[in-house]
A = this chain, B = another copy of it.
Amino acid sequence: MTTTNTTTIRNGIDTAQVYGTLDALRTQPELARFEFRATNRWIGGTHSRSTIQGLWGAGQEDTSRDAPFEVDASEPPVLFGDNEAPNPAEFVLHALAGCLTLTIVNVAAARSVTLTEVSSTLEGVLDARGATGVDETRRNGFEAVRVSLSIKGDASPAKLREIVERAKARSVVYDIIANPVAIELQAEVG
């Protein structure tokens, strides 16, 4: 009798679960619809708080979170706030960083690469004459975002680069920032 000591966990990702999910998405495309949500409430000045808990995914309402996450946003004094929290543009960078990192980790796990480090530094540059309306020819948002990634693991530099390229091509938030997303906004006033 041969005992094979295998584990499906790599980089903290259960690759058996990943492959099972991919198979399920191929045969039951209705499982692919995900709906993420946040509710936000103004606290005062530039300060607000988002509550994040429920989501829809894999064909059902996800109830895995016992308690809601609460995340604040505000501005530094130079942008009329009191540094109660990072500002919304910084949260965009955080979202991009977190998404690239976890996508790299997933891709590496699927390709049997064990990682020892993924770190990144992100910068987003904007011209405040856009958002303030001082110059209508400027855009409000980032003119550009720069990402400097560092990734280490038990694979050749070429394979690690391939993993980064695949993650860039598959990242949810990279796509949201790099490409247009339709936003429908409804307001109840009174």
Seen from chain A, the residues whose Cβ lies within 8 Å of a Cβ on chain B are 11-14, 17-18, 21-22, 25-26, 29, 31-42, 44-48, 50, 52, 55, 57-58, 62, 64-65, 69, 71-81, 83, 85-103, 105-106, 115, 117-135, 138-152, 157, 160-161, 164, 168, 170-190
Q: Which residues of chain B are within 8 angstroms of A83 by Cβ–Cβ distance?
A: 64-65
Residues of B within 8 A of A187 (CB): 148-151, 160-161, 164
| Cβ 8 A contact of A36, one of B32, B48, B123, B152 | B123
Each complex incorporates copies of this chain amounting to 2
Rounded to whole Å, the gap between the CB of A89 and the closest CB of chain B is: 5
Other-chain residue from B36, B80, B179, B182 in contact with A180 (beta carbon distance below 8 A): B179
- 28 cross-chain CB contacts under 8 A: A13-B80, A21-B80, A32-B134, A34-B89, A34-B126, A36-B87, A37-B124, A38-B122, A39-B97, A41-B119, A42-B115, A46-B102, A50-B94, A57-B78, A64-B83, A73-B99, A88-B95, A88-B102, A88-B172, A89-B173, A92-B92, A143-B182, A146-B185, A147-B183, A149-B185, A150-B187, A168-B185, A177-B181
